[in-house]
């Protein structure tokens, strides 16, 4: 489902429980970023989407679902699955992967919300907009 409201863009899409869902989720994220005019680093958002969907596929239960809301200045990403086991950040590295560590580094905030029938892992990224500069004064 896709909606546009007051300068924001939202999409809520169930994904199949298959590795191809990572590519599909990145395509959806690209569309959201374009449609909402997000002015931050699109590559950061795509990486975070990949990590969250991968974690849901590898460590979660059932098919994941991707929800994104975006505007020019911020994006919220939510990936849900049916698993009740909550993710635990581990020491990042080749043995444990980089997933939630990358999400934490690139996001302005992130968290895990248990819900009936599973959980939602969410994060928000904000565009670093240049500060407004005052016009020079005339003498």
- For the stretch 64-104, pLDDT in tens is 999 999 999 999 999 999 998 888 777 766 776 778 889 99
pLDDT band at 129 (very low <50, low <70, confident <90, very high): low
Please say if the pLDDT value at position 39 is more than 70: yes
Residue whose pair of structure tokens reads 């969410």 in the numeric block: 122
The pLDDT score that the predictor gives to residue 79 is: 97
Q: Mean pLDDT score of the chain, rounded to an integer?
A: 87
Cα-based distances in Å from 116 to 12, 27, 41, 113, 120: 18, 28, 34, 10, 10
CA distance linking residue 29 with residue 122, whole number of Å: 14
CA distance 62 to 43: 27
pLDDT-derived band at 138 (thresholds 50, 70, 90) equals low
pTM, two decimal places = 0.85
- The confidence score (pLDDT) of residue 7 equals 54
Report, as an integer, the average pLDDT of 107-134: 86
What per-residue confidence (pLDDT) applies to 128? 82
Say if residue 37's pLDDT is above 90.
Answer: yes
């Amino acid at each position: 489902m896709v909606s546009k409201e007051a300068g924001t863009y939202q999409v809520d899409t169930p994904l199949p429980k298959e590795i191809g869902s990572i590519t599909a989720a990145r395509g959806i994220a690209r569309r959201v970023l374009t449609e909402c005019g997000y002015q931050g680093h699109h590559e950061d958002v795509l990486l975070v989407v990949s990590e969250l969907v991968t974690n849901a596929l590898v460590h979660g239960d059932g098919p994941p679902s991707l929800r994104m809301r975006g505007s020019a200045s911020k994006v919220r990403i939510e990936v849900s699955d049916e698993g009740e086991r909550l993710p635990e950040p581990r020491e990042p590295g080749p043995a444990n992967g980089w997933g939630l560590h990358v999400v934490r580094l690139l996001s302005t905030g992130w968290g895990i919300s248990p819900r009936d029938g599973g959980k939602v892992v969410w994060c928000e990224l904000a565009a670093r907009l240049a500060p407004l500069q005052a016009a020079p004064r005339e003498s």
